[in-house]
Amino acid sequence: MTEVLTAAAAAWGGAIVQAAGTDVWHGVGVAAARLLSRSEVPREQAESERLDRTRAVLEAAEEGEAERVQAA
């Protein structure tokens, strides 16, 4: 069971990173923040801000650096 959850978390994290630089980011970011916060409004806002900071770092990374940042 642990391996399944680990694989699911890795896939989900990868999907979030892939969406960061696209037009679907807003929808993915809202859904991810809601899931991470367990729908607790103050926590949802904090998760949304954290995800937006992650997106900003990925977008600011130069092309070769972006792959390294995504892997971290």
28: its two tokens:
């993915």
Query: What's the CA gap between 33 and 69, in Å, rounded?
Result: 21
Q: Considering the chain, what is the average pLDDT of its residues?
A: 83
Give just the sign of the alpha carbon dihedral 50, 23, 21, 19.
Answer: positive
Check residue 50 and give its pLDDT. Answer: 92
* Band of pLDDT at residue 66, cut at 50, 70 and 90: low
Check residue 10 and give its pLDDT. Answer: 85
pLDDT at 72 over 60: no
